[in-house]
Amino acid sequence: MNGLSVAIDEVAIQRAKLGDSRALEQLYRAYQSSVYTLARRICRVPEDAEEVLQDTFVEVCRSIGKFRGEGPGSLTAWIKRIAASKALMLIRREKYRETDEFNEDLGAGSTSPAQVGLRMDLEAALERLPRRSRAVVWLHDVEGYTHEDIADMMGKTVSFSKSQLARAHARLRGWLGEGEQC
């Protein structure tokens, strides 16, 4: 999982489950960066990512008593799943549909990949992807979710997730100027 620094032990998890506000804050401090990054990558807009961050931890605080996993690993997966669901819920809103149409119109053109370094190219290319493709790429390739998980979270089919991923890679490949496709 991406960008995660976990400084949470089993005692802190148990205390958080009992509603201890210091332990809950400790969870927030440990996971905020990875949750915000996931949200930023999916939503793209910083303000929306902040909303996802806040909503995710409100949900974590409300539901941690029902969390049945053991250890920081499963807690990470649980928190990230909440964050991914919140981010996907947010990008279903109307304004994102409009932004997507705009992105589709942009095509492969406006910024020359040769003008900036590879990382910036990839950042820009990722941002330019339509919202659902971007979400699938990030969740599958970076966060490690399966197509079944993604389909479940998005309320779509597995084949939808697979085709979005392939289309996204075809686009990224073209935008990054990686030569003629075989």
Partner 1 sequence: MLIHCTMEELVSIRDGEGSAAARQHLDACDACMEEMERLHQRIAHLKALPAFEAPRDRWPEVERVVRGDRRKRYARLIGWSSLVAAASIALLVGLRGFSVAADDPSKEVAQLIEESQHLESMLRAIKPSSRVMNGRMASAVVQLEDGIELIDETLEELSRRRRNAVELEQLWRQRVQLMDALVTTHAARTASYVGF
Using CB under 8 A as the criterion, which residues of the chain lie in contact with partner 1 when the complex forms? 2-3, 21, 24-25, 28-29, 32-34, 36-37, 40-41, 46, 49-51, 53-54, 57-58, 61-62, 118-119, 122-123, 126, 137-138, 141-142, 147, 162-163, 165-167, 169-170, 172-173, 176, 178, 181-182
Q: At its nearest, how many Å lie between partner 1 and the CB of residue 176?
A: 7
Tell me how far CA of residue 178 lies from CA of 3, 142, 162, 175, in angstroms. 27, 20, 22, 8
Instruction: Give the pair of three-digit tokens for residue 42.
Output: 């999916």
Q: Helix and strand tally (H, E) in the chain?
A: 9, 0
**CA distance linking residue 8 with residue 29, whole number of Å:** 10
Please say which residue, 77 or 122, places its beta carbon nearer to partner 1.
122
Please say which residue, 75 or 172, places its beta carbon nearer to partner 1.
172
Q: At its nearest, how many Å lie between partner 1 and the CB of residue 122?
A: 5
Please say which residue, 103 or 163, places its beta carbon nearer to partner 1.
163
Please say which residue, 38 or 88, places its beta carbon nearer to partner 1.
38
Please say which residue, 35 or 70, places its beta carbon nearer to partner 1.
35
Closest to 91 measured CA to CA, from 149, 155, 34, 145: 155
Q: At its nearest, how many Å lie between partner 1 and the CB of residue 64?
A: 10
Q: At its nearest, how many Å lie between partner 1 and the CB of residue 155?
A: 21
Tell me how far CA of residue 18 lies from CA of 12, 32, 57, in angstroms. 10, 21, 16
Q: At its nearest, how many Å lie between partner 1 and the CB of residue 19?
A: 8
One-letter amino acid for residue 90 of the chain: L
Closest to 139 measured CA to CA, from 80, 94, 75: 80
